[in-house]
Structure 1
Amino acid sequence: MMQKDTTSAFKGKTGLTRIVRAFGYSLKGLRATWRDEAAFRQECVLAIVMLPAAFWVGRTAVEIFLLCVTVMLVLMLELVNSGLEALADAISLEHHPLLGKAKDTGSAAVLLALILAAGWWGYVLVDRFVLS
C-alpha cells in the first residue's frame, strides 16, 4: 500500500531563512491581533504598565520573574484564543456547538490566566505593602 505524502509545501525552508520568515509571520500575527482584538490591546496596555511595575513591586528575582510571567501568560493565551476564534470563524460563521465550545474553551484559558495573574499580583502587593 502506497503511503500518502503529507509534507506541507510551506515546510521546505530551513536554517536562517526559516527563522527570519517565522519571525516575520509572528510579527504579522501580533499586528493582526492588535488590529482586530480589543481585549488584546487592553491587555497590552496593562502589560506596558505592569511589566516595569514588577521590578518595583517584586522584592526578589523570583517574585519579579513570576509577576512578569503571569502578565506574559495572559498575552500568550489571548493570542492563542484569537487564533482559535479566527480559525473557527473561517470554518463557519453559522452557530455550531463544537465551534462554540472551542471558542468558549479558549476564552476560559484566558480567564484562568487572568485569575492567576490577579492572584499572584494581589499576593505580592499585599505581602509588600500591607503585611510588611
Structure 2
Amino acid sequence: MPKKETFLVNRIKSVGYAYKGAILLLKTESSIKIQFVIALCMTAAGFYFDISPTEWIFQTLAIGLIMTAEGLNTAIEAIADFIHPEHHSKIGFIKDVSAGAVFIAAIAAIIIGFIIYLPKLF
C-alpha cells in the first residue's frame, strides 16, 4: 500500500495545480489576457493617483472578481463543449449565462473604477 501524503504535501500540490491553471488561463485565453492588461493598467493608475488603502482594497477585489469570473466562464465553456461539442440550445443557454456573470462582474468593476478615479480626474 502506498504511503499516504501529509496534509501539507497535499496543500502544496493543490497550490501548484492552481498556479498551473492560472498560467494556462493567461497563456491560452484571450479574454483573460485582455482583463490582465486592464488590471495592470488599473494598478498603475492606482500608484499614479496614490489611491487610499480602502480604494486599493476595492480595486483589488474588483480585479479579482473579474479574473475569477473569466476563469470560471472559461471552465464552464470548456466543460459544455466537451459534453456536447455540436450546437445545442441548452448548452448555448449555459454558456450565455456564464458569460452574463462575467458581464455583471465587469459592470461592477467599472462602477468601482468610476467611483475611485472620476473624483481624481475632475
TM-score range, shorter chain: 0.7 to 0.9
1:97–1:28 distance in 2 versus 1, CA, 3 Å:
same
Whose Rg is larger?
Answer: 1
> How many angstroms apart in 1 are the aligned matches of 2:48 and 2:12?
35
2:18 alignment partner in structure 1: 26
Alpha-carbon distance, 1:38 to partner: 0.5
TM, length-normalised to structure 2: 0.86
1:82–1:119 distance in 2 versus 1, CA, 3 Å:
same
Superposed CA deviations along residues 57-76 of structure 1, whole A, max 9, x for unmatched, are 36432112101211121111
Structure 1 residue ranges without an equivalent (≥5)? 1-11
Matched, 1:102 2:102: no
Greater mean deviation of Cα atoms: 55-64 or 35-44: 55-64
Structure 2 residue ranges without an equivalent (≥5)? none
Structure 1 runs (4+) greater than 3 angstroms displaced:
55-59
Alpha-carbon distance, 1:14 to partner: 5.2
1:126 alignment partner in structure 2: 118
TM, length-normalised to structure 1: 0.80
> How many angstroms apart in 2 are the aligned matches of 1:120 and 1:72?
13
1:3 alignment partner in structure 2: none
> How many angstroms apart in 2 are the aligned matches of 1:21 and 1:83?
20
> How many angstroms apart in 1 are the aligned matches of 2:59 and 2:33?
19
Superposed CA deviations along residues 94-116 of structure 1, whole A, max 9, x for unmatched, are 11222111111111111111111
Equivalent residue pairs, number: 119
User: Partner letter of residue 79 of structure 1?
Assistant: G
